[in-house]
């Protein structure tokens, strides 16, 4: 009786889980947010008949900064630093 196990190998499970489950300041489990600041210009392109043209590059002039720290949704206290590099191990393959 041959039982074949199909084994999924390869990828390490990537976790975006926060390092905490609950806000240490107010005890809220509501969640957290990051602050991102966008500045710049959005060029929205129209054809002369009023229809929308190709707008693939509409965000090219926009700069987005921030998103480094996580803040509590409830009390807005800074909770932890987002792990940008560690969260993407597939980018460090050699
Ligand atoms: Zn809080």
Sorted by where each begins, the domain ranges of the chain are: 32-79
Task: At 71, list the tokens.
Answer: 């803040």
Note the pLDDT tens digit of each residue in 37-67.
889 998 999 999 999 999 999 888 989 888 8
What is the per-residue pLDDT for 78?
A: 96
CB atoms near residue 23 (< 10 Å): 20
> What is the whole-number distance in angstroms between the Cα of residue 30 and the centre of ligand 1?
8
Contact by Cβ (8 Å): 40, 61: yes
> What is the whole-number distance in angstroms between the Cα of residue 21 and the centre of ligand 1?
11
DSSP-assigned beta bridge partners for residue 62: 40
> What is the whole-number distance in angstroms between the Cα of residue 82 and the centre of ligand 1?
16
Note the pLDDT tens digit of each residue in 65-91.
888 999 999 999 999 998 754 444 444
Q: Is the pLDDT of residue 12 over 70?
A: no
> What is the whole-number distance in angstroms between the Cα of residue 27 and the centre of ligand 1?
6
> What is the whole-number distance in angstroms between the Cα of residue 36 and the centre of ligand 1?
19
């Amino acid at each position: 009786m041959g039982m074949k196990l199909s084994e999924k190998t390869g990828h390490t499970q990537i976790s975006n889980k926060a390092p905490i489950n609950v806000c240490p300041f107010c005890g809220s489990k509501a969640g957290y947010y990051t602050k991102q600041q966008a500045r710049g210009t959005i060029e929205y392109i129209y054809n002369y008949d009023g229809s929308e043209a190709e707008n693939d590059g509409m965000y090219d002039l926009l700069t987005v900064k921030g998103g480094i720290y996580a803040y509590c949704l409830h009390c807005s206290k800074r909770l932890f630093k987002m792990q940008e590099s560690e969260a993407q191990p597939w980018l460090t393959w050699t």
